[in-house]
Amino acid sequence: MKNIAYIFLLIVFGFALGACEKDNYEPPNALLSGKLLYQGEAIGLQYDRVSYELYQDGFGKTGPISSTFTTEGAFSQLLFNGTYKMVVPRGQGPFLWGEDIDQADTLLIHVNAETEQNIEVIPYWLIRNTTMAATANKVSANFSLEQIVTNNLARNIEHATLYVSKTSFASPETNIATAMLEGDNITNLENVALQLEVPEMVPTQDYVFARVGLKFIGVDDMIFSDIQKLTL
């Protein structure tokens, strides 16, 4: 009698093991990745701000897979092989894309294993030649500004701001100090200088991350320079 019980248990166990294979789907394993580029140059963005959407037709109701670009303007998604449509929703990002620059407003992407898809955009302005230095608890940044969009879609600068943070997410959201220059006060586009004093940090650390952001009038998202780690 006891033997039968053991055999029975063994069979149930066997079924349980086998069942896993039957019930589970393969996880998505095709990697789609890419970057926002302007003439090969990466676009710096704020963390979790500029969104994009991926659609795949043919499976019932259509809804987007939404996500946001990284601070370096990159994106990546694990997907199933297939054809996807990618859009950057209108008004997102400190750049022009799609209809505004006479391109298709949807990217058709055939995802197959590892796929890379870069997106060409035209930023309103670019921050160039950024140099940053830290001396005696003071952070200074020098950079030049170049207007890229000059036609009727051009945007004026609302402000240029230096953000200093304890982590690499230096942004309007996470910072310990900022220095701002209003757009009207920027006189020499070739050399803009910002300076600030780093406040006391708890717990103390002997380095900070700094980044310059540029805000345009009437555009939500800012464009950023590279993030630099500075030793105090």
Partner 1 sequence: MKKLSILISIFFTLIACNSDDDFLERPPTQVLTSEQAFSDPAQVLSILADLYSRQFTLYNLDNWQSMGDFNEAFYAQTQDLANQFHSNSTWPFEGINNFWSTWDYTYIRELNLFLERIKDASIKEDLKERFAAEARFLRAAYYFELVQLYGGVPIILESQTYDFNGDPSYLQVPRSSEAETYDFVIEEADELASILAADADTKARATKGAALAMKARAALYAASLAKYNNARTPSLSLSGNEVGISSAKAEEYYNKALSAATEIINGNAGSYALYQKNPSNLSENFAAIFYDKNANPEVIWALDYLIKYKTHYFTGANQPRFGAEEEEGGALNPTLNLVQEFELLDNTFAPLATVNGNGEPIYYENQEDIFANRDARLGGTVILPGSSFKSSPVDIWAGYQLSDGTIITGTDRGDQRILPGQSVEQQVVGFDGPVAGAVQNAQMGFYLRKYVDPAPGSGQRGIRSEVWNIRYRYAEILLIAAEAAFELGQPAKAAEYMNQVRARAGFTIPLSAADISFDRIVHERRVEFAFEGQYFMDLKRFRIAHEIFDGVTMDVNDLKSGIGKANKRSTMPWGLWPYKIYNPGSENHNKWIYKEFLSNQVTAADNWQLGNYYSKISDETLSSNPKLVKQPLQ
Measured from the CB atom, the residue of 134 and 221 that comes closer to partner 1 is 221
Return the residue of 92, 165, 225, 228 that touches partner 1, per CB under 8 A. 92
* Contact (Cβ atoms closer than 8 angstroms) between residue 170 and residue 225: no
Q: Does 199 bind partner 1 (CB under 8 A)?
A: no
Which of 103, 117, 168, 178 touches partner 1 by CB under 8 A? 178
58 binds partner 1 per the rule CB under 8 A: no
Q: Which stretch binds partner 1 (CB under 8 A): 12-20, 61-69, 140-148, 193-201?
A: 61-69
Q: d(Cα 154, Cα 139) in Å, to the nearest integer?
A: 31
Which of 89, 100, 103, 189 lies at the binding interface for partner 1 (CB under 8 A)? 89
Residue of 180, 181, 186, 189 interacting with partner 1 (CB under 8 A): 180
Nearest to residue 127, comparing CAs of 181, 191, 185, 187? Answer: 191
| 99 scored as a contact of partner 1 (CB under 8 A) | no
Nearest to 167 by CA among 128, 196, 201: 201
Contacts of 194 (CB under 8 A, 6+ apart): 140, 141, 160, 161, 162, 179, 180, 181, 212
Task: Collapse the DSSP code of 45 into the 3-class scheme (helix H, G, I; strand E, B; otherwise coil) and give the result.
Answer: coil
CB of 146 to partner 1, least distance (A): 23
The rounded distance, in Å, linking the Cα atoms of 46 and 54 is 20
For partner 1, the closer of residues 66 and 83 by Cβ is 66
- Our finding on whether 218 is near partner 1 (CB under 8 A) is yes
- Comparing CA positions, the residue from 75, 51, 76, 44 lying closest to residue 227 is 44
| Cβ-based nearer residue to partner 1, 35 or 215 | 215
Sign of CA dihedral 143, 45, 213, 94: positive
18 binds partner 1 per the rule CB under 8 A: no
Q: Which is nearer to partner 1, 141 or 179 (CB)?
A: 179
Note whether 124 and 95 are within 8 A (CB): yes
Count residues binding partner 1 (CB under 8 A): 18
- The residues binding partner 1 (CB under 8 A) are 61-64, 66, 89-92, 159, 172-174, 178, 180, 215, 218, 220
